[in-house]
Amino acid sequence: MSIELPLALSVVKFVAILSRISAFMFAFPFFDSQQIPMNYKIFFSVVLSFCLMPGLPGNWSEAASFGNLDLLGLFFLIASEVILGLTISLVVLCIIEVFAFAGHVMAMDMGFLMAESIDPSTEQSSSITSQMLVQVFLVMFLIMEGHHEIIRLAAGSFETLPPGAFLVDEGMLEFLIKLGSQIFLVGMQIALPIFAVIFMSNIALGLIARFGEDFPVLDLSFAIHLGLGLIVLMAIFPIIMEICRKMNEQLLNLLSLLVAY
């Protein structure tokens, strides 16, 4: 059954726009938080879709072949936009997990691994340092007006990527695999100063325990690890802020390439 009525054509256009906007919004940091009610998310996506409809390119409908669209075609169109949203979510998650992994390594070395708390945004337990680094990254995202850039990318994607045209091919899979490998590489680089200092302190404590058997190494090791870890963390915090800035820029660049793929 083909959809040929003018009213139906407008509805199909709106559904296509809403699918893409929802895909962007539900992958957007903060907006995907479980603390935001679902009806607020849906309302914002619907309003933004209505606002973007008048500014669509003139050949947008022709590029999507809306005139010959049937129900099966509509299903594949929406599925393509959902896949786009899932891909964007994966890219955003990979960048955020860099800092979560770095914080986990720091917590393991500093003795904070058992001191976990519930992250209200995900309702999952994570280490204190992981939550701190992720929050620093998200605050830097807002400072750099990343939320504005996300909306601009969503609006500009209609000019570069026709509706239903996004597909995950071999090149896209290779890109996502390489991006996933960066979680461990960059995350370990962020945590390396604390890892190295704690490692050297363990060697020193081992030598002290070997030659000074009466010295309470075990009792003091936790305090030493914690103190050294906090000192190094404060020393490298400006570097972490700069890494957050560069990772935010990389995130926006990756999303720009994604919508122009």
16-32 pLDDT per residue, tens? 788 888 877 776 666 66
Has residue 18 been placed in a domain? yes
Smallest CA-to-CA distance from 227 within 109, 108, 105, 110 is with 110
Residue 1 covered by a domain? no
Q: What is the mean pLDDT of residues 198-220?
A: 79
The residue segments making up the domain with residue 255 are 6-259
**Number of structural domains the chain divides into:** 1
Least reliable range by pLDDT among 111-120, 165-174, 230-239:
111-120
Return the residue matching tokens 């896949």. Answer: 83
d(CA 92, CA 24): 11
198 is a domain residue: yes
Confidence of residue 7 (pLDDT cuts 50, 70, 90): very low
Give per-residue pLDDT as tens, 252-261: 888 887 776 6
CB 118 within 8 A of CB 229: no
Q: Is residue 67 part of a domain?
A: yes
In terms of pLDDT, which residue wins out, 187 or 119?
Answer: 187
Question: For residue 216, which phi and psi values (nearest 5 degrees)?
Answer: -75, 70
Residue 216 has a pLDDT of: 74
Mean pLDDT score, 207-230: 78
| 42: in domain | yes
SS3 state of residue 2? strand
Give the model's pLDDT for residue 258.
76
CB distance 131 to 155 below 8 Å: no
pTM of the shown model: 0.79
